[in-house]
Amino acid sequence: MSLDNTIKEIKTSFHSDLSNCKTTTDLENIRITYLGRKGKLTVLFDDFTKLPGSEKPKYGKALNILKTDLNNAFNKKLNQLNPDSGKSNDNSEDFSLPGYTLPKGSLHPLEQITSEIKSIFQSIGFSVAYGPEIDDDYHNFEALNVPKHHPARDMQDTFFIDPNTVLRTHTSNVQIHLMENQDPPIRHICCGRVFRNEAVSYKSFCLFNQVEGLVINESSSFAEMKGTLEYFVQEMFGKGTKMRFRPSYFPFTEPSAEVDIWNDKLNQWMEILGCGMVNPNVLANVEYDNTKYQGFAFGMGIERIAMIKYGIKDIRLFYQNDKRFLEQF
């Protein structure tokens, strides 16, 4: 008998048996006859494996259709005879049990803020640059218009590796490396760890993370710096965030400004970043023609922004890595 016919025959007799079935005992017998370990369907599958490879695709498909058909019809009947059986078989499951407890992974809050800042600036065409955490005095200070024995050095307490080598106090050293290796236009942010020799307390740590930006071309002005940073603040802190630029001093920029945003809860301004037009001396140090090129730079501390954004009161929490803290992000 050809397999085709067998398939048809089994299908017909199964449906006929099923329609005559009145009790669960009858149904169980049908299951054994057709679907059981030695049932007709199982035997048919055994036969199938012995077929030559060339015929397998054709019958394989037909057999699978038969199997699905029989199972569906069987389950339908089972439901009719025993309406509760659909949910479970003999050992009824308790779906009120808890689900599997998966470990609560998280990205560090500082990573999240950094990534958010990066995306905002990337969306307006800034690339990201990286550079060394240990650098020479020249790249960290002198090239940035902070000569030795300048009072501005007091603004950043420095860790020294040797008298001429420092743990960078800002990521601005990356800007110098960048400009030494690339002609304008420059439109970059740099980010990473920076170090300050300050006493560790709830508001200061011996290191923090920074994002700094640099734009150099023939036309970028103070007004454009304001526009760029306003865009950033609205994206980062929400549309309508009140902000102000106020004059300040950094040796590497002139004019310099600090940006505050208004904190409704505390009813006060909070400083979030520093910025300014790149000092022509800095451009001269990297052998850019400072009569032709100009631009602006800005910098911010990630911890400070994270503290504002998440309401964190102690900076040391970022470096303690308490799971109970980390899991909240």
Partner 1 sequence: MKVSLSWLKRFVDFEYSPSELADKLTMRGFESEVVADFSALEHIVVGEVKSAKKHPDADKLKVCTVTDGNETYNVVCGAPNVDKGQKIVFAKVGAVLPGDFKIGKAKIRGAESFGMICSERELGISEEHDGIMVLDSSCTVGAKIDTVLGETYDAIDVEVTPDKAFALSHRGIAREIAAMSGSKLKNPIEALKATSQSNDVVKVILDKKGGCTRYIAGTMKNLTVGPSPKWLADYLKSVGQKSINNLVDISNFMLLEIGHPTHIFDLKKLSKPMIEVKWAKKGEKFDALDEESYKLDTDHLIITDSVNTIALAGIIGGKDSAVSDTTTEVLIESAYFDPVVVRKGSKKLNLLSEASRRFERGADPEAVLEAFYMIVGLMSEVAGGTLESLVTGESTIDPTLHKISLSEDKLLKYTGQDINHKSVSSILDGLHIRNKKSKTGWECVIPSFRHDVKHETDLIEEVLRCYGYENIKSSYSFSSQMQYANDAEQPLFELKQHLSSLGFNQSYNNSLQDIEEVKVFGINPVSVMNPSSEKMNTLRTTLHRGLFENLDFNFKNGSANTLIYEHGTVFEKKGDSLKDIDQVSNFSCLVHGNFYEKNVHFNALENNFFLLKGMATNIFETLTKTKVKFVEDKHSYCDIFYRIVDGKKNTVGSIGVVADSFLNKLDIAHKTNVCVMDINTSFFVEHFNHNVKVKDVVLYPVVNRDLNFKLDSGTNLGEVCAAMKSINQSILQHVSPVDIYESKEEDNKKNVLFKLSFQSVKKTLEDNEVNAVIAEIIKVVTKKFNAKLRDN
Judged by CB under 8 A, the residue of 40, 48, 73, 280 near partner 1 is 280
Residue closer to partner 1, measured from CB, 43 or 161? 161
Stretch that binds partner 1, among 2-10, 39-47, 232-240, 314-322 (CB under 8 A): 314-322
> Does residue 23 touch partner 1 according to CB under 8 A?
no
Do 258 and 271 touch, CB atoms closer than 8 A? Answer: yes
Q: Which of 282, 4, 320 is nearest to 144 (CA)?
A: 282
The dihedral region occupied by 98, where left means phi > 0, alpha psi between -120 and 50, and beta the remainder, is beta
Nearer Cβ to partner 1 (65/134): 134
Residue pointed to by tokens 């199982």: 42
Among 197, 242, 310, 314, which residue interacts with partner 1 (rule: CB under 8 A)? 197
Pairing, β 160-162 against β 165-167:
antiparallel
> Treating both helix axes as pointing N-terminal to C-terminal, what angle do 56-81 and 40-49 enclose, rounded to 10 degrees?
160
Could you give the 3-state DSSP secondary structure of residue 255?
strand
98 lies in the site for partner 1, by CB under 8 A = yes
Segment 209 to 268, residues that bind partner 1, using CB under 8 A: 215, 217, 219-224, 226-228, 230-231, 244-249, 251, 254-258
On whether the CB atoms of residues 215 and 295 are closer than 8 A, the answer is yes
Binding window for partner 1 (CB under 8 A); candidates: 16-24, 38-46, 99-107, 233-241? 99-107
Dist. CA 96–CA 18, nearest whole Å: 35
Shorter beta-carbon distance to partner 1: residue 288 or 318:
318
Give the nearer residue to partner 1 in terms of CB position, either 18 or 312. 312
Query: x/- string (CB under 8 A) for partner 1, residues 42-81?
Result: -------xx-xxx-xx--x---------------------
CA distance 177 to 130: 10
Q: Which stretch binds partner 1 (CB under 8 A): 1-9, 13-21, 80-88, 107-115?
A: 107-115
